Each structure stands twice: as C-alpha cells, then as structure tokens.
Amino acid sequence: MADRRPVWAMPDWVPTRIREALPDGWELQVVDEETDGSGDGAARVSEGLLDKVRGAEAYFGYGVPAELLRAGSSLGWVHSGAAGVGSSLSSAMLASPVLFTNSAGIHAIPMSETVLAIILFFGRGLDLAVASQHRKAWDKEPFYGADSPLRELSETTIGVVGFGGIGREVARRVLALGGHVLALKRTRPRPTDARLEPVVGGQASGERLEVLHGDAGRRRLLWESDVIVLAAPETASTRGILDAPALASMRDGAVVVNVARGRLLDEGALVAELRSGRLRGAGLDVFAREPLPPEDPLWSLPNVLITPHVSAVTRGFWRRESDLICENIRRYVRGEPLLNLVDKHAGY
C-alpha cells in the first residue's frame, strides 16, 4: 500500500499499529514497492509481491488483480484500500471463496465535503463571481436579476443517488445546514435508514430526509430535486442511470454533481442540457474517460466546475483505514462477520 502520491503515502506508524493487532503467531510483511491507489487500485503486480502472497492468509493492497489471487491459493481474506471494486471482480475473484473487503465509507467524509462545496458554489453564485473576476467586472446584475439563481440550503432539495457511505455523509451535512434530502437506494428502505446521527453540533434530520426505492422513487427524485448527487457504485444497474431522458426530466435550473463514476452519467446529454441553459450547472469530479481530453466540450462550458478525480483527497485516510483493517483483523481471527464485505455478484 505504498502509494506513489505523497498525500496518500502510508505513515510509518501504520505497520506498527497493524502488527500490534495481529494475534500470536502471525507476521506482517510490508511490500515497499510503489503502487497506485487511484481509481479501483493497481492493475498489475510484481514477481516480488507474488512471492510474498504465496502461502499468505490475508492480503492488503489497492485492488486485487486476478494474477495475485491465483498466486495466493491459501488466501482466506483480501482487502482493498480503494472503495471501487470493479477492476478486482475478475472471473478468478467471482469463482473464489476468498472473503473480499473494501474501503467503502473511508473516503466518505472528504467526498461529502466536496459535494457540499459544489452545492454552495452554484447555490451562492460563486461561478458568477469567478466569471466576473476574470473579466475584471464589478457586475451585480446576475445576482440582482429576477432570474437570480441564488438560493438558501433550507429552500433546496438535494437528491442523492446511492445511500451508502458517501450518500449518507452527504445527507448528514445537508441536513445539518437545513436542507432537504431525497435519497435513492437499490434495496427497499428500512425504518432506520431515515434516522441519521447528526454531525457534531447539528440537529437531527426530523422530517427533512426521505429514503426512496425503485422506479417510482427514481422518477420522484428526478422531478423534485434542485441538485442531484451521484454517489452510487458503478454496476450494471447504475451505469447510465442519469441518461438523456433522466436529465430531460429534471426540473429547470437544477444542478448535477458526480463524485461516483463517470459512466453513471451521459456526458453528451449533459452538455446539451447545460448549453441550452435549462440546467443551472454541473460539478464533476469523475468522467467516462480520464484524464478528460482537452477537446472535451465540458472544459469550455461556463456553468461546469471540473475537479480531476480528487474529491476523496484527505490527510485523514490512514487513521480511518487502519481502524478498519485492525477491527477486521480482530473479526477475522474470531470468525465474526467482516466490515465492508463486498457482494461480489452485486458489484459493491
């Protein structure tokens, strides 16, 4: 897990903490080879790593390539430091009885704060201010006009597609600031889904959170939301969930935010809606093709905010990641259910 990116570099205290969590007779081997934890994790492995995996009981890394899984025939548990698992769900993984956990939720706090920043960026007209600043123009008219796009969060409904770790953290922050949330999840809602612990100093959500399900819930979310946030994993059922018909059914002046995966969204259809002026704007951190090519029209649209797949960047990752690893070590040796166990066939 020696990520090549300095902000993600593993601190020296992490292996020490993991060793302290191991039961007697267990050994931790740290592989110092540089790796890449972006996206779903590493797509290749070295011979040195394969040698260490042979005979191992557990593996921690960024992604789980099929080659590694085949070499580690004694593996009982593999863990990915990435939240996405798409590149790890090889035929070898699907056929293997190995337990597979990921880091879903570990990135939820920084990603939800990025989402909140994008919501406020458009809600308070900061895109208008940036455009005026570039022209060196003291221009109040876009703020004062009858069609001024400024709104308060308490007057805003945020639609969250995907109510896992990221979606729930987005909801908590929006609710803490007085907003309303419609959350769409794949499975039928439970009564407890609508009861979120408030952020520190915040108030309980009360009646401002509704959890939706199915086609009827999806249609309602599209029609009623002022902002739609994509926070779901990419699976066969979520790919293209915000396609041209879905975008066309959104209310006028709505904003699209995508911090999930690029292929959840029809980018061409989004460009058409943004160019027409019907949609207020879009904040995009992920794209169908990355890096986003220079010729892509999204770059030149004034009502688009682009970040280069960095919504999860934080210096708090290793504290939460080591908590998860150590707790799951305790559970694994006791034969208890693991946290963040991936449903290999559901795709997350």
Catalytic residue among 107, 172, 173, 261: 261
Task: Fill in the DSSP letter of residue 11.
Answer: P
Active site residue 290: yes
> Does the active-site annotation cover 213?
no
Token code pair at residue 117 = 């920043």
| DSSP category for residue 206 | T
Catalytic residue check, 331: no
Distance of alpha carbon 174 from its chain centroid, rounded?
16
- What is the C-alpha to C-alpha distance for residues 214 and 232, in angstroms, rounded to an integer? 14
Q: Are 348 and 85 in contact (CB under 8 A)?
A: yes
Q: Is 286 helix (H, G, I), strand (E, B) or coil?
A: coil
- Residue 15: count other Cβ atoms within 10 Å of its Cβ: 15
The separation between the first and the last C-alpha atoms of the chain, rounded to the nearest angstrom, is 21
Nearest Cα neighbor of 280 from 264, 307, 302 is 302
Q: Which one of the listed residues 107, 168, 180, 309 is annotated catalytic?
A: 309
Catalytic residue chosen out of the listed positions 152, 197, 290, 336: 290
Residue 103 CA to residue 81 CA, distance in Å, equals 5
DSSP 93-127: HHH---EEE--TTTTHHHHHHHHHHHHHHHHTTHH
> Which residues have a catalytic role annotated?
261, 290, 309
